[in-house]
Amino acid sequence: MPIHPIDFRYGTPEMKNIWEEETKLQKMLEVEAALAQAEAEIGMIPKEAAEEINRKKSIEFVKLERVKEIERATRHDVVSVVKAFAEVCEGNAGEYIHFGSTSNDIIDTAQSLQFKDAGDVLLQKLMTLRDELLQKAEEHKNVVCIGRTHGQHAVPTTYGMKFALWATELQRHVERLEAAKNRLAVSMITGAVGTMAAIGKNGMTVHNRVGEILGLEPVLISSQVVQRDRHAEFMAVVAMIAQTLNKIGVAVRSMQRSEIKELEEEFDASKQTGSSTMPHKRNPITFEQICGLSRVIKVNALAEFDNMVLWEERDLTNSSSERCLFPESCVLLDHILNLSIKGFRKITVNEANVQRNLEMTKGLIMAERVMMDLASKGMGRQTGHEVVRTCAMKAHEENRHLKDVLMENKEVMNYVNNEDLDKMFDYTTYIGLAPEIVDNVLKESKNW
């Protein structure tokens, strides 16, 4: 009976298939077969044995149920695979399976194949989301909205800036994930403590050839395991991606508040229900789920940091936790990337509310512009700041428009006239180089 929500609620078949038991077994069989092939090529084992091992390197022959049956007796996962593999090989070919290697040669190398596949899936989803945000940036390049700092209205910006900012962060994650995946997707046939003693003088040749066969970079040096700084880096990048999605999700949810409602995720009013008791609710459940699951991914990265610290050439403290950490984080990140892609494809920018919110503080958001314009007309910058600040505080306390208060200030009116003030309070002309900045991002994105 399913227990973990990944089994029935979260994740895509694409990513789950990479981490399911059958796939893990298949990858281990492929590593064992590559080892046999490499050894046969230099005459360490009979060519016929290697050919038979390669013919049977499939879960079509080596059944997961049989591996589990053997493991119940041996209490060793790799020994169980070796025994089950040997059983299906004809002649004495089974005697040459796992020749000169140790368990983690097989486990870590097979896991690298899984990470390579998982990384490719995540990279594709990341780039799809990035491109979706770039498209939104182009579409909303000139949609002027209020910028907020400390949760308070600051000065105008554009939704193009918001979307482009998120897209460029995702591009940095694409670069980080590609680098981390390449450092992690490595092979290793180095034996019990990394010295290749069991294989002997041909150890380096076999080690390098196995990597070549599998399309993996052989490690330069190892202990009994691939060093876990590689895994920790990958998990850290996965967690960083999740936290970026969390950040974006928080922004979208904040902008979907009833009082703000500038953004709104898709809601099927014909049948979707927001609450079991409040019929009117339209909750941001997609982006809430993204934010919630990002926390699990972040914590998993912290656990993998601890797995960097193993006794001497290795112990088993990493093994049990990694059985949970790696598939869970990859499946959940894949899931929230999918949610993010779907969420932004269907998101609504409510421009009427955007305009309403620009007007909410009655011109206070243009205080910086007034200060700078006064300074350009001869009033000192520091003097201008204090004059405008005093007027802004008065406007706030009296709930009046800043322009009206400024018009009553003789010091201000010595430098400007009413027409000047009207121009100063045109929000659409105080977005600086925002459209140009977005255009620069879009132009640069052609090289991504």
Angle (CA) 183-185-186 rounded to 5° is: 85
Distance CA 433, CA 294 (A): 34
DSSP string spanning 207-222? Answer: HHHHHHHHT-EEPS--
At how many degrees (to 10) do helices 159-184 and 103-139 cross? 160
Beta-carbon contacts of 314 under 8 Å, excluding residues fewer than 6 positions away, are: 104, 223, 224, 225
Among 58, 103, 112, 150, the one annotated catalytic: 150
Query: Given phi > 0 = left and psi -120 to 50 = alpha, else beta, which region is 222?
Result: beta
For this structure, is 150 an active site residue?
A: yes
Secondary structure of residue 333 in the 3-state scheme: helix
Angle (CA) 185-191-197 rounded to 5° is: 135
Distance CA 31, CA 257 (A): 53
Query: Given phi > 0 = left and psi -120 to 50 = alpha, else beta, which region is 43?
Result: left
DSSP 20: S
What are the percentages of helix, strand and coil residues in the chain, rounded to 5? Answer: 65, 5, 30
**R_g of the chain, CA atoms, integer Å:** 30
Spell out the alpha helix ranges (H) of 151-271: 159-184, 203-214, 229-255
Report the residue count for the chain: 448
DSSP 91: T
Beta-carbon contacts of 334 under 8 Å, excluding residues fewer than 6 positions away, are: 11, 12, 14, 15, 118, 121, 122, 125
For this structure, is 270 an active site residue?
A: no
DSSP string spanning 252-282? Answer: HHHHTSTTT-SEE----TTT--S-SS-TT--
Among 98, 112, 173, 275, the one annotated catalytic: 275
Residues 241 and 298: beta-carbon distance below 8 Å: no
Q: Which residues are catalytic?
A: 150, 275
